[in-house]
Amino acid sequence: MQKWLRTLVLPIVALALVASACSSDEPGDSGDSGGNDDCTSEVRVGIALDVGGLGDKSFNDAAKAGLDQAIADGQVCEENANFVEANNTGSNRDANIEALADEGYDLVIGVGFAFSEGVAAIAADYPDVNFAVVDGFSTFLPDAKGLTNVADLTFKEQEGSYLVGAAAALKCQCDTIGFLGGQEGTGLIEKFEAGYTAGAKAVNPDIDVLVEYIGDDTTAFVNDVKGEALSAKMYDAGAEIVYHAAGLSGAGLFRAAVDANKLAIGVDSDQYLTAAPEEQPLILTSMLKRVDTAVYDAIEQTADDAFKGGFQVFGLDVDGVDFSTSNEEELTDDIVEKMDEFKEQIISGEIVVPEEPENA
């Protein structure tokens, strides 16, 4: 990617890449989604998942949840919805997007920023197909400028991360916490780090935030072994709570939390709900990134023949990001009350959350 594009685009788009145990190169059905037997919609939706596919309990699964809700509401019939899973390196992303467009899907969604350039390159050749890229920057690229059939669905991850950073500092009343990132150097996961650090320091200006990144390419999101090792390193160095934005690699954080008997913070979905029994009590909260909402909206717009192209941003003000409250024993009412205060201050503009770490 050219330097000018990284400077302009990457700091404002988001990332929470994904992972799971299975992968396939061919389209498949949407799985058990509780479909609507009375569905009459003729809209066809194809979703290209990023590295790892379904079962990540995070980013890709959140996209599927949005599709499942659209199926339940009759926006799309189950038999008209398909997934294509990326291979382990993601080298077939562009081919998957083009295959879905060739098959005549009305809406093709790429789940992850890495689909941006591929979508921008082909969108003009498929004027009757709507394209959406979660965390995308396609509309900033020359090939897609001015196209009305391309939408970038982005999030203010720094805002949600600010809230869980505040929660960490409020909960531990300590001097040291940690952050585990997936891919370093793109300016994307750094948004999570920046918000988390700012929120923690709003509570305790002297708190030290240890930071570890797993790698510098997308495989950093599927390395739970290294995620566990780096999390253990931070716990050993004194971190009382560690927050991850690392896809499947975050599973390693939860194992390390159990070994250290210290708290962790999840990301994207409420990871308390899908954690192992021994991990659940240690997941303080999760930063919720409502990929499901963005996917559902794109499907609904297509079904209503009202697709909105361009750059779209989902922040706290539209429930695009938030925090989970499932662990009531650890995330007590006094902490939630303070988080809600910060939330209102961010929505009102009283607090402006940084998108880059302090020393970036």
Judging by beta carbons within 10 Å of its beta carbon (0-12, 13-18, 19+), is residue 257 exposed, middle or buried? buried
pLDDT of amino acid 350: 98
In a domain, 11, yes or no: yes
Q: How far is CA 303 from CA 40, 45, 78, 97, 243, in A?
A: 11, 10, 14, 20, 38
In a domain, 182, yes or no: yes
User: Is 284 in the same domain as 295?
Assistant: no
User: Is 188 in the same domain as 337?
Assistant: yes
- Per-residue pLDDT band for 90 (boundaries 50, 70, 90) equals confident
pLDDT of amino acid 55: 79
Q: At 235, which helix (H) or strand (E)?
A: helix 224-236
pLDDT of amino acid 34: 55
The single-letter code of the amino acid at 142 is: P
In a domain, 356, yes or no: no
Q: Residue 339 above 50 pLDDT?
A: yes
Whichever domain contains 97, its CATH number is: 3.40.50.2300
Structure tokens at 61: 């699964």
Structure tokens at 300: 């609904």
pLDDT of amino acid 219: 85
Q: Residue 24 above 90 pLDDT?
A: no
User: Is 86 in the same domain as 215?
Assistant: no
User: Is 84 in the same domain as 64?
Assistant: yes
Q: Which residues pair with 311 in a beta bridge?
A: 152
User: Is 23 in the same domain as 132?
Assistant: yes
In a domain, 207, yes or no: yes
Q: What percent of the chain has pLDDT over 70?
A: 89
Count up the domains in the chain and report the number.
2
Q: What percent of the chain has pLDDT over 90?
A: 79
The single-letter code of the amino acid at 191 is: K
CA dihedral 275, 266, 160, 222 (to 10 degrees): -110
- Per-residue pLDDT band for 4 (boundaries 50, 70, 90) equals very low
Range of the domain at 134: 3-155+291-318
In a domain, 115, yes or no: yes
Q: Residue 186 above 90 pLDDT?
A: no
Sign of the dihedral through C-alpha 54, 59, 61, 66: negative
In a domain, 323, yes or no: no
pLDDT of amino acid 56: 73
Pick the range with the lowest mean pLDDT from 58-67, 73-82, 115-124, 205-214: 58-67
The predicted model gives 47-62 an average pLDDT of 82
pLDDT of amino acid 35: 60
User: Is 333 in the same domain as 313?
Assistant: no
In a domain, 277, yes or no: yes
Q: What pTM was estimated for this model as a whole?
A: 0.84
Write the CB contacts of 81 (distance below 8 Å, at least 6 apart in sequence).
29, 30, 33, 44, 45, 46, 47, 67, 71
Residue with the larger pLDDT of the pair 13 and 197: 197
User: Is 146 in the same domain as 164?
Assistant: no
User: Is 47 in the same domain as 105?
Assistant: yes
User: Is 7 in the same domain as 122?
Assistant: yes
In a domain, 193, yes or no: yes
User: Is 137 in the same domain as 233?
Assistant: no
User: Is 249 in the same domain as 263?
Assistant: yes
The predicted model gives 267-290 an average pLDDT of 95
Condensed to tens digits (0 to 9), the pLDDT of residues 286-335 reads 999 999 999 999 999 999 999 999 999 999 999 999 999 999 999 999 99
Pick the range with the lowest mean pLDDT from 24-28, 69-73, 138-142, 270-274: 24-28
Q: At 289, which helix (H) or strand (E)?
A: strand 283-289
- Per-residue pLDDT band for 87 (boundaries 50, 70, 90) equals confident
User: Is 73 in the same domain as 34?
Assistant: yes
